[in-house]
Chains A and B, each alone.
Chain A
Amino acid sequence: MVSFLIRRVAILVPMAFTISALIFFASRLSPIDPINAMVPPDMASDSANLEQLREELGLNDNIILQYFHWLKNIATGDFGYSLQSGEKISDILALRMPATLELVLSALILSTLLALTLGLFAGAKKGGVADKLSRVLGVIGIAIPDFFIGLALLNVFAFRVEWLPTGNRVAPGQVTLWDRLPNLILPVSTLTIAMLAVLIRYTRNSVLDTLNRDFVKTARSKGVPEWRVLYSHVFRNSLGPVMVLLAFRLPLLVGGSILVETVFQWPGIGTTIIAAVTASDYPVIMVVSMIIAMVILVASFLVDIIKSILDPRVRLGGGN
């Protein structure tokens, strides 16, 4: 197990470097000059000023040098400044990250709990109530895009019956989470429904697959009661693919959901990305991309750990 972990961590390092290089050089390949985004149009004609700014920002240095410089800054937590607002990127993140975390984490937990419960019951009793409910939810979630679900919910609950606010998170610190709860309900519901669909289907199908495996017959041939067969033999062996799907959703925690955040004017990372992209705010785009990529790396690492815990055969893979 230890050597498995070491091998797995060793792969992470070169991968992280490759990704950082890709992000950096891709942004440098763009034909849009970041200087144009910084300088007001009336000053843009003064090429001497622009040249001076370039020099100060280090944009005239060797590109390899620039890369390592950027990497060093990122690694030491110095994310630089937004070209658009001039704010420190770390300040922007500190302000926006909690909003996204609050939204995505709630939706992730809710959808997981719901999907696992429904999916397990749906698979265990094909054609039962849970199965029917999960099929309806599955079709809705897969067929209807999340922003549309969001708009529909907004239309009904915020505009027609006016039970809930239209979203728009109240600034943290001003009020307690309890007071912000009404603002959370609609965006969280939207994201939950969107995430639920695939997860339910995955869980249900995985349970059905496992039920058909021979060891379930063996368990039954021992006279083990059905609930124990399900709990001890079926569910654990069904969780693998579901956990993988879940782990790959972790990056949403830092990336946010662009569409849902936009629909509900949620001041999270998703809306930050949109703003940064429209304004060609490269430092912000690069930092956010880098953070999301790193979380994806960690998530895939987690996936392997989870798999190896659930299925001891995974630990084999060479060595050991």
Chain B
Amino acid sequence: MSLSTEKDLILDLKSVNVKFKVEDDTLHILRDVSLSIPRGSFLCVVGESGCGKSVTAQAIVQLLPDNGEISSGEILFSQGNQVVELNQLEKFGKQMRGVRGAKIGMIFQDTLSSLNPAHKVGRQVAESLLQHLPISKGEARTRVIELFRKLGIPDPERRYEAYPHEFSGGMRQRVMIAIATICEPDLVIADEPTTALDVTIQAQIMTLLKDLQKSAGKTFILITHNMALVSEVADHVAVMYLGRVVEYGTVEQVLRDPRHPYTKALMASVPDLDADKNVELQTVDGQTPSPAEVTVGCEFAGRCPYVIAACKEKTIEMTQVNPGHDVRCVRLDENGKLPILASGALHE
């Protein structure tokens, strides 16, 4: 139980499997998810709805819904010079609670429902602080107001006393960021923090997060399906498909040189201002299969233009195509390249 010594990893997921019980079925939602996250990095986890991005985040902090559980794997979190296996801790036990909020901060998507409508926002931020630090209410208040000011919330003294419904969506997201960061956690996990916001506000919030990462040296995991955001903020990208990480690498590797057919298709579906307007935007054909369907081999095989018989025979392993760039695909040749398709099903 030790983290890889070559790099200073803050979080290391090793073959994490998560299963959900739905009525009489057991759904295998995360399949052997392995992610190594270097301290101080900004990792984006991308993929379609239902690919397991959010479940990964919830599994890390052990806040899965009641019907979900981590069935196997290790989640190693480096806390100072100590490494804690988070999945071994009791869900609502003291140790796990000591990690949540204090060491790992969480930012959620829907800010209106994620804030308690009956409590003043200041109190909701201070709650985190009072939980983890031996400080007085007055001190907590001062620090919350200070953070509000830093995060660009105007008139912070007055806003401290306001209720969530009195805030705009962007301001509420700043409050969420305050909740997640007030205890100066080493790692912040943001689960689609800008999805509910309009574009200009999105940009402001992303800049804010990026600044926090740079200035405070925090590690960020951003879960998003917005590929445009990824290139702006991320340094590492993990692409997920149906509960599996199918490609992992630095942002240059994954976005400029995608190797997995799914990543390629995903990149081709991003609108580009410079593109020829007469060329139709690519979409990924077909639907994400239901996790209830038992598939052998590659989960993407059913929608993949490169599919061959070998894809459906057994579980595909991750292969390294370049240092730090891993892809889960059997069609890659010895240079880590996909074969050229005769029919040109994917424009490149």
Q: Is the CB of A222 within 8 A of B92?
A: no
Given A313-B163, A316-B165: A224 in contact with B97 (beta carbons within 8 A): yes
Given A214-B110, A312-B163: A224 in contact with B118 (beta carbons within 8 A): no
The answer to whether B217 has its CB under 8 Å from any CB of chain A is no
Q: Is the CB of A218 within 8 A of B118?
A: no
Neighbouring B residues of A310 by C-beta, 8 Å: 118
Q: Is the CB of B63 within 8 A of A214?
A: no
The answer to whether A28 has its CB under 8 Å from any CB of chain B is no
Q: Which of A213, A222, A236, A316 has the most CB of B within 10 A?
A: A222
Q: Is the CB of A223 within 8 A of B101?
A: yes
Per-residue CB proximity of A221-238 to B under 8 Å, as 1/0?
A: 111111000001100110
Q: Give chain B interface residues in 74-98, CB to chain A under 8 Å.
A: 92, 97-98
The answer to whether A217 has its CB under 8 Å from any CB of chain B is yes
Partner of B114, one of A218, A225, A236, A311: A218
A173 to B277 Cα, complex, angstroms: 93
The answer to whether A7 has its CB under 8 Å from any CB of chain B is no
Q: Is the CB of B165 within 8 A of A313?
A: yes
CB distance from A246 to the nearest CB of B (A): 18
Q: Which of A213, A215, A233, A311 has the most CB of B within 10 A?
A: A215
The answer to whether A220 has its CB under 8 Å from any CB of chain B is yes
A189 to B148 Cα, complex, angstroms: 54
The answer to whether A219 has its CB under 8 Å from any CB of chain B is yes
Q: Is the CB of B115 within 8 A of A218?
A: yes
Q: Is the CB of B117 within 8 A of A237?
A: yes
The answer to whether B108 has its CB under 8 Å from any CB of chain A is yes
CB distance from B342 to the nearest CB of A (A): 49
Given A223-B128, A223-B131: A218 in contact with B179 (beta carbons within 8 A): yes
Given A221-B106, A223-B98, A316-B165: A215 in contact with B114 (beta carbons within 8 A): yes
The answer to whether B227 has its CB under 8 Å from any CB of chain A is no
Neighbouring B residues of A220 by C-beta, 8 Å: 63, 92, 100
Q: Is the CB of A217 within 8 A of B108?
A: yes
A224 to B125 Cα, complex, angstroms: 12
A151 to B110 Cα, complex, angstroms: 53
Binding site for A on B (CB under 8 A): 61, 63, 92, 97-102, 105-106, 108, 110, 113-119, 124, 127-128, 131-132, 163, 165, 176, 179-180
Task: Name 21 interchain pairs, CB-CB below 8 A, sorted by A.
Answer: A213-B113, A214-B113, A215-B117, A218-B114, A218-B115, A218-B116, A218-B176, A219-B116, A220-B92, A220-B100, A221-B105, A221-B106, A222-B179, A223-B101, A223-B128, A223-B132, A233-B116, A236-B118, A237-B117, A312-B163, A313-B163
Given contacts A224-B97, A313-B163, could you give 14 more A-B pairs where the C-beta distance is less than 8 Å?
A: A213-B113, A214-B108, A218-B176, A219-B127, A221-B105, A222-B128, A223-B98, A223-B102, A223-B128, A223-B132, A224-B131, A237-B117, A311-B117, A312-B118
